[in-house]
Amino acid sequence: MTTPRMTTQTLKVLGTILSEPDAEWYGLELCKRARLKPGTIYPTLDRLIKAEWLERRWEDIDPAVEGRPRRRLYRLTAIGAPAARQALDEHLAALQPAAAESWRPAHQPRLA
Amino acid sequence: MSFVAVIVAFAGAIVLIVGRALAVDEIKGRVQRHITASLDATIDMLPDELQAQWADEWRAELAAVITMPLTAAHLVRGLRHSAHELLAHPALAPASIDNHAPTSRRSRAGLSMRAQGGLQASIASALRGAGAYVTRRGDILAVAVAVAVAVVFAVAAAVGDIVIVAGDVIVADVFAVAVVFAVVFVVGFVRVVVVRNRV
């Protein structure tokens, strides 16, 4: 198992999946919810699968009955859920000082 | 005279509606076939291992949006980009003949000559499409319907103008009806192209 490269797109995908951590997602739905293009989503999903943070399966439906083809569904693995949450927390924590700095008024002295 | 004009106008309107439906279906079918072929070409350029992983999923995603031409085209464009990204994965990059890393990104990605052709391939594809377009009977029908619609509108406009000048209100009504159906035609087209593309 390897740790996936944490790009902005990867963080967006993980953030979207973590909004409903027990849900199963299909590619286009993730595109819409994460506001990413299809060109971005599949390589990202591929990396997360290779890292064993996500697992996928084919939807268990009869296409003739449903009137649409089966989708491939993605969900967090037991390893992936805590790892994704930790990765997001780490990136948010890293961003917070920078965000606080950018909001600090010019006349206010820096503490410590 | 007025009764005959109304009958002629409605007959023309029915022909227009049927013609428009035929033309729209024909164009939609052709666009869908083109988009599907584009996805197939994208999948074909992947090595077997990646095809096994992604082909069925991508075809399923396309099937879900194939009735929305703009969305489907956007999806296929994105999938082509995805294919390039997946091919660029170091583990899949083919070694060059002297076992050195290839210099071109496309070479490194292992793309076919057709994919490397880029603009030439696009132009060749467009020319092939144009050639096929005028040789297919269905397309000739679509073009004939479009020409007929244009002629009907032109004649109606000319007759309307002449008769309006002459002060004949009856045939001017035909012109008015033709204008109404022209508006219906345009609104219907916009509805097909724009509204059906909402995800």
Q: For residue range B145-162, list pLDDT tens digits in order.
A: 667 777 776 776 666 665
Fold assignment, A8-103? Arc Repressor Mutant, subunit A (1.10.10)
pLDDT tens string B72-92? 999 999 999 999 988 886 554
Neighbours of B82 (CB within 10 A): 25
The arrangement of strands across the sheet holding A72-76 comes to A25-26, A72-76, A54-58
Q: Which of B82, B84, B85, B197 to mutate to test the interface with A (most CBs of A within 10 A)?
A: B82
Minimum mean pLDDT range among A5-9, A19-23, B31-35, B85-89: B85-89
Pairing of strands A72-76, A54-58: antiparallel
pLDDT tens string B111-125? 444 444 455 555 555
Interface contact B74, partner A, CB < 8 A: yes
> Distance from A67 to chain B by nearest Cα, in Å?
10
Q: What percent of chain B has pLDDT over 90?
A: 24
Alpha carbons B19 and A72: distance in angstroms, whole number: 40
Burial class of B159 by CB neighbour count within 10 A (0 to 12, 13 to 18, 19+): middle
Q: Which of A28, A31, A60, A61 to mutate to test the interface with B (most CBs of B within 10 A)?
A: A28
A75 has pLDDT over 50: yes
Quickly state the pLDDT bin for B137 (edges 50, 70, 90): low
Tell me the whole-structure pTM to 2 decimals.
0.56
Q: Where are the domains of chain A?
A: 8-103
Name every residue in A having a CB less than 8 A away from some CB of B: 26-28, 31-32, 37-43, 46, 68-72
Q: Where are the domains of chain B?
A: 2-197
ipTM of the complex: 0.73
CB-based contact B82 A41, cutoff 8 Å: yes
